[in-house]
Structure formats: C-alpha cells, structure tokens
Structure 1
Amino acid sequence: MTNIVANEYGSMLFHGNCVTCHFETKDVSAPSMMRVKENYLRAFPKKEDFVAYMSRWVKNPNEKTSIMLGDIKKYELMPYLHYDMESLEEISAYIYETDFDKEHKGHK
C-alpha cells in the first residue's frame, strides 16, 4: 500500500463498495453521495468531525443517531456492513474531499 496515494485508496474503497447503493449524483436505491455529503457538511463542517461521525454511523447504522431521517423513511435504514473502522475512515475522508459535481477519477 505504500505506492498508493491516500485519496486514490479512498477512491478505490468508495467505488468498490459504496456506489453499489449510493450513486454519486442520483438518488436511486439510496440517497446520492452528493446529497449525503451535503447533509454531513452542514452538520460537521470540520473534516475530522465529518470523518469521525460518518465512520461511526456507517459502522453501526442507527435511526436514532441519523442526520438523514427522511431518507431512512424513503429508503430504509442502511444495512449493517462488515467494514473495519480504518476503511470507513478512508472512505469518509474521500467523500469529504471529493466534489461529486465535477469530473474526478472513478466518476460515472
């Protein structure tokens, strides 16, 4: 992993896992990642808070701690996924740093 830049590693994890349900700019079977990011940025503008909260929430999805209750009603609660915290932090940091409105590596 020493040859992989952190952002590229986060991109690989994101595109290999999250886009199965979370399309980048379209709401389909789950809210778009662009909308998820907008909600999290409003609640947690500092990167370290954004990454910490998103990672913990995805590790243990819970309606009581969700900042997107309307989406849970529309799409149901995100299922429990067996990801380790380090991977979730990499993915969350990638989401924080990526402008899903603009072309980027892995954009579809």
Structure 2
Amino acid sequence: MKIKIGFAMGIIALMVAACSSHEQHGSGHPVADLTKLNHPGAKVYQSACMSCHALAAKEEGSVAPPLFGVKDHVIKAYPERAAFIQRVVTWVKAPNPNDVLMPGAVKKFGLMPAQAQLSDADLQAVAEFIYDTDFNKPDWYAAHYQAEHGKKPH
C-alpha cells in the first residue's frame, strides 16, 4: 500500500512528538530528524513498512511491533552493522518461524509475511535506515520489556 508522503510525514511528526527517552545506536540520525532525512531507506520505510511497523506507537489495533522495538531486538542479536543489515534483509524476504528474535511479537501478531515485492536494493536501503537511525523509546517500553523478558532493557 502506497502512502502519500505528506500524510506520512504528518504521521511521523505525530509519532515523534509522542516519543521520549532517546537512545544512541547507529550513525547518529535522531528520529526527530526523520522528516528531514533524505535517506532512501526512510522513503522505503514510509511506503512499505510504516503501515504495519509504526515508529513507536503502542495501540490496541497494531498489526506488528513498532520499529524501535524491532531494531532493539535485532541490534542486540546482531550489533555489527553488516550483520544487522543482512539479518533484516534475509528476514523481510523470508521470515523463518524457526529463527525468531521476537517470540512475544510472533505470538501476539503472528509471523511477518514475506515482503517479496521489495527489491534487494529497497531491502538494503530500509535495513541501513533502521540501523543508522536513532529511535526514541517511549515511556511504556521499559515496563513492557521487563514484563516480556524479566529484566530491564539496556
């Protein structure tokens, strides 16, 4: 589903305004600058990923975990940039139920469907964008993480 850029930018601005507590990962593009980024991966995220993976929203009607949570889990397992990007690209092409990093999310939302419509270049760009962008963790995340994992996030 294509989303008009103006509408998408408005949604992003609202989500950014709702976020708090900033955490550093990647090359230093804070999420507050997302609307100003000219990153090809940001455009792919907006058109192909954002409708399911909001930046930080925790809504009852969500169909997938928020993007900051996805990054948080993937970067813990794959902290090196190249490995992180490869994991995201591989996962989005063909999610593997035997290699899940977010079992709670799979239990809640089901296994992510393969995104075969995305080119390798688009997948690479969005994975780079996710790694390179610092996402704010909302206030509710620490309690959620502790409930899921029995410990506070770091």
TM-score class, shorter-chain normalisation, is 0.7 to 0.9
Q: Corresponding residue for 1:93?
A: 128
Whole-angstrom distance in 1 between the partners of 2:46 and 2:88: 17
Structure 1 residues 46 and 17, CA, compared in 2 at 3 Å: closer, same or farther?
Answer: same
Q: Which whole-Å deviations, capped at 9, do the CAs of 1:31-66 have from their partners, x for residues lacking one?
A: 000000000110011100000011101100111122
RMSD: 1.7
Q: Corresponding residue for 1:13?
A: 44
Please give the secondary structure, in 1, of the residue aligned with 2:64.
coil
| Paired AA for residue 22 in structure 1 | H
Please give the secondary structure, in 1, of the residue aligned with 2:39.
helix
4+ residue runs over 4 A deviation = none
Whole-angstrom distance in 1 between the partners of 2:93 and 2:108: 21
Structure 2 gaps of 5+ residues are 1-36, 138-154
Q: How many residues align?
A: 97
Q: Corresponding residue for 1:22?
A: 53
Matching residue within 27, 32, 36 for 2:66: 32
Whole-angstrom distance in 1 between the partners of 2:110 and 2:131: 23
Tell me the TM-score normalised to structure 1 length.
0.83
Superposition deviation, residue 69 in structure 1: 1.5
Tell me the TM-score normalised to structure 2 length.
0.59
Does 2:87 align with 1:53? yes
Does 2:99 align with 1:65? yes
Structure 1 residues 37 and 7, CA, compared in 2 at 3 Å: closer, same or farther?
Answer: farther
Q: Does the aligned pair in 2 maintain the 1:22–1:33 contact within 8 Å?
A: yes
Q: Corresponding residue for 2:76?
A: 42
| Paired AA for residue 129 in structure 2 | Y
Structure 1 gaps of 5+ residues are 1-5, 103-108
